[in-house]
Amino acid sequence: MTINTPDYIVVTRPEPFASQLAEKIQHEGGRPFLFPVMTIAQVQEGEVLKSYLAKLSTFDLAVFTSPTAVRQTFSFFSASLQWPQQVSIAAIGPGTARALSELDLEVAWVPLADYRTEGLLALPRFKHVRSQKIIIFRGEGGRTLLAQALEARGAQIFHAIVYRRTLPTQEAQKQTLAWKGMRIDAIVITSQEALSNLLILVGETQQDWLKQQRLLVTSPRIKEAALRLGFASLYVAHDASNEAIVDALKRGEWRGTKTLT
């Protein structure tokens, strides 16, 4: 089965993840068009992160919330710094687990199906965390449910903010808005922030046009947010991994259907 459409699939992920997804789409016969709606930047509080990394051995558990969190965290690792074997690692989903495995790190805990905070919290390891020290490697902003739930269960939580997301430059906006003149099969959206940024980047005068386009989103939460914003043609992939997105594009169950809500 291939991606059976002559129209473009707009990929809104930041680099380098946009190019990785685009390569998989092209391999399956699709026509990707890269339109990153955010850029990844290092946090300014690098010294705070380095202090956490220097005392990793004092933690009971480390949680990584995204492949970007993995990539940015280990960009701060010095050549002499090794991951303490006694500190187990949890990943929010298979993409994050894969990024850790590529660094030869063993992932002890990853949800089997629900690749969200709720999936992590349902794992046996997260049921009994009283008095444990848990460090969460994540981006600036985002959901606070994981930390709140673990603190309610008695854990001591430390936040390692390893990156922040920003809008592309104005010049990048001008260069990439050319996709509005193309025939579009789907716009891939992998976060609520990406959806908000997309609306900003196309501009207020083009938002009615944008809301007529088909979105392929990667969670029910993003779908609900898109519906509230006025999007009507929606389809939900199983999760945010490249494999799940490509699988949804290959199945193409929405084609010929105006609205999926």
Residue 117: give its domain's CATH number.
3.40.50.10090
Position 150 in a domain: yes
> Does the structure show a pLDDT above 50 at 260?
no
> Does the structure show a pLDDT above 70 at 259?
no
Identify the pLDDT of residue 194: 93
Q: What is the mean pLDDT of the chain?
A: 87
Regarding whether 74 and 56 lie in a shared domain, the answer is yes
Identify the pLDDT of residue 79: 60
Share of the chain above pLDDT 70, in %: 91
Regarding whether 113 and 48 lie in a shared domain, the answer is yes
pLDDT digit string (tens) for 238-248?
888 899 899 99
Domain containing 54 equals 41-165
> Does the structure show a pLDDT above 50 at 177?
yes
Position 2 in a domain: no
Residue 206's pLDDT band, with cuts at 50, 70 and 90, is confident
pLDDT digit string (tens) for 85-140?
899 999 998 889 999 999 999 999 999 888 888 899 999 999 999 999 999 999 88
- In the numeric block, which tokens belong to residue 78? 């010095």
- Cα dihedral 166, 187, 19, 68, rounded to 10, equals 40
Regarding whether 47 and 124 lie in a shared domain, the answer is yes
Residues in a beta bridge with 166: 39
Position 31 in a domain: yes
Tell me which of 122, 149, 165 is where a domain ends: 165
